Structure 1
Amino acid sequence: MQEDLQRAVQFAVEHESLWDRHVDGAWGVHVNDPPPWNRLLGPVHDRGPVSGAIAVDGRVLTTWGEPDRADLTFSVAKMYLALLAGVAHDRGLLPDVDEPVRLRVPNIGFDDEHNAAVTWAHLLQQTSEWQGTYFGLSDQADHYRAVNFAAPPIGKKGDLRPLQRPGTYWEYNDVRINQLSLALLHLFRRPLPEVFREAIMRPAGASENWQWVGYDNAWVEIDGRRMQSVPGGT
């Protein structure tokens, strides 16, 4: 058992991200992003070493690195949005995921001919083919994005790609995920970190000292209250 744990730890340590650990390096900018999208859009801080813990039935078997350090996480927020969609469903705010988004949250980018067919399910499954800009960031920024578990794209990341009908084409596109976040913000009419803390984190017994931070310019006003639209894809 101990040897297996050590092999797992060693594997994690040897497969650290190639991204710089320091903000003054390339940290926070996707290595394949072409101009004008290769710039930071929100706050970051230096990250620590590869860290982790292995626990079974609540008993910690081993740790490595600095597991108590507050560090940045990124695409895990896609799961946060999926959980919040579930909360919205349970609260009656989102009774049908196959309903077009524009019906419950009009005037936030789903009303034109192409985007009118986009449903909540399309956004959650990354098949929306939503077209537009999210606080100045175009969906084109993630066209032809390569992911390890899918076939290589036929174009270069950031090149304009012909759009397909919503629901018919899968693409890992963070701008569209962020548009899902904006739609959920308008659905709840409350800051999503506030809802997430109340509905998910506190009932789960999680800590209170975490933040979910949006892009510097990603602010809207809803019911007279200024709120930040947080990203689900970084």
Structure 2
Amino acid sequence: MKSYKNIFFFLLFSCALSGQEYYFPKPNASWEQKKPQEYKINTDKLQAAVDFAQANEYSGSRDLRIAILKGFEKEPFHKILGPTKKRGGPAGMILKNGYIVAQWGDVKRVDMTFSVTKSLLSTTAGLALDRGFISSTQDKTGDYIWDGTFDGEHNSKITWEHLLQQNSAWSGELWGGKDWADRPPSEGGIDDWKFEQPKEPGTFMEYNDVRVNVLAYALTHVWRAPLPQVLKQNIMDPIGASTTWRWYGYDHAWTEIDGINMKSVTGGGHSGAGLFINTEDMARFGLLFLNNGKWNNEQLISEDWIRQAISPSTPNVNYGYMWWLNKKGDRHWDGLSENIYYAAGFGGNFIVIDPENEMVVVTRWLEPNKIGEFMSKLNEALD
């Protein structure tokens, strides 16, 4: 019996120590740094990873309006519908247990973050589930949104989970965007895309901003409030984020709820809009997820939601609820933990959560196909 008591108190003491190891920066205060050596991180190899990130800047124009129009030029009818902003140069932060062990570039500069926005949009869905506004992600979205958006034999099958995993195959038009014209396949002509029968919901993952924006629209109606306000009150203010971030929708994307016009925001920026944010605020958001939804002693979003959000979907093992997963699949980073998950956006914007190494990594404007190599270099510094 004595040995069992000893084990119990050892585990209790270990848990207490573990909780104390995490540092959470205060609002409007300097973010504490620690020397990499304190965590047995090889300084030279860490610097080599940082140098690599700085030397491999995204090759697209710093005028993001030009980069967007070039990057999505094959889409029929594509045009800029919301705000854009010229970007800065490469920037990033590497956190270990919440402390900064490396940073580069202007980490306070606000830039577009494109599809990183999707992971924050997903979080507003998690908050709705935690508060009981949505009973289950398996529920049909049309049971909540009955204005015609989810009417018809096909769209009526769509669940919240389908929308979150980007396998809804929602068919229709929102804010002037047609689902079939958004990120079309490389093969075939416009008639092939336009008249192709939609896939069965839940069977095929397709990256599609129109359908993501349908999710944002539906969540706005569930919350009966603009999603930037939901995110600010429930997440960004409690984690001490700055007052500089903004979340935009398309210029004409207004919806009336309770007699009040509200902007329905986007989940990305490939037609403009989306989340505009600095590197430090991205790192704070990542730290919240590293600590399983808890900031200091306050549980802001449930651990159960995070488990759901980072569970592989059936059609794509590398995708959960708008988080990319480093599982063995088409987007696996060889040699790195399969428990890594991350938010990713056009132009090389990333928030990487590495639970096994208790690290958060944020990169801005890294050539997107270099992220795996960058993470491998960082991993070598930990060995």
Tell me the TM-score normalized by structure 2.
0.55
Q: Where do residues 15-26 of structure 1 align in structure 2 (5 Å cutoff)?
A: 15-23=56-64, 26=66
- Tell me which residue corresponds to 2:202: 167
**Aligned-pair distance for 1:97?**
1.1
Q: Where do residues 23-38 of structure 1 align in structure 2 (5 Å cutoff)?
A: 23=64, 26-29=66-69, 31-34=71-74, 36-38=76-78
Pair 1:73-2:113 in alignment: yes
**Aligned-pair distance for 1:154?**
5.3
Structure with the greater alpha carbon radius of gyration: 2
Aligned mates of 1:192, 1:47 — CA distance in 2:
24
Point out the more displaced range, 29-38 or 199-208: 29-38
8 Å Cα contact 1:218/1:228 also seen in 2: yes
Aligned mates of 1:108, 1:232 — CA distance in 2:
21
User: Which structure has more RCO (C-alpha within 8 Å, separation ≥ 6)?
Assistant: 2
Q: Which amino acid aligns with 1:4?
A: K
Q: Which amino acid aligns with 1:217?
A: H
Aligned mates of 1:71, 1:32 — CA distance in 2:
19
Aligned mates of 1:217, 1:130 — CA distance in 2:
21
RMSD of aligned C-alpha atoms?
A: 2.1
Pair 1:11-2:46 in alignment: no
Structure 1 gaps, min length 5: 146-152
Equivalent residue pairs, number:
226
Q: Where do residues 117-132 of structure 1 align in structure 2 (5 Å cutoff)?
A: 117-132=157-172
- Tell me which residue corresponds to 1:148: none
Point out the more displaced range, 5-14 or 87-96: 5-14
Query: Could you say which structure has the higher helix fraction?
Result: 2
Aligned mates of 1:210, 1:134 — CA distance in 2:
25
Percent identity of equivalent pairs: 42
Aligned mates of 1:162, 1:127 — CA distance in 2:
14
8 Å Cα contact 2:75/2:181 also seen in 1: no
- Tell me which residue corresponds to 2:253: 218
Q: Secondary structure at the match of 2:62?
A: coil
Q: Where do residues 1-234 of structure 1 align in structure 2 (5 Å cutoff)?
A: 1-23=42-64, 26-29=66-69, 31-34=71-74, 36-145=76-185, 155=188, 159-160=193-194, 161-234=196-269
Structure 2 gaps, min length 5: 1-41, 270-383
Rate the CA distance shift 1:212–1:156 in 2: closer, same or farther, 3 A: farther
Q: Which amino acid aligns with 1:33?
A: E
4+ residue segments displaced more than 4 Å = 153-158
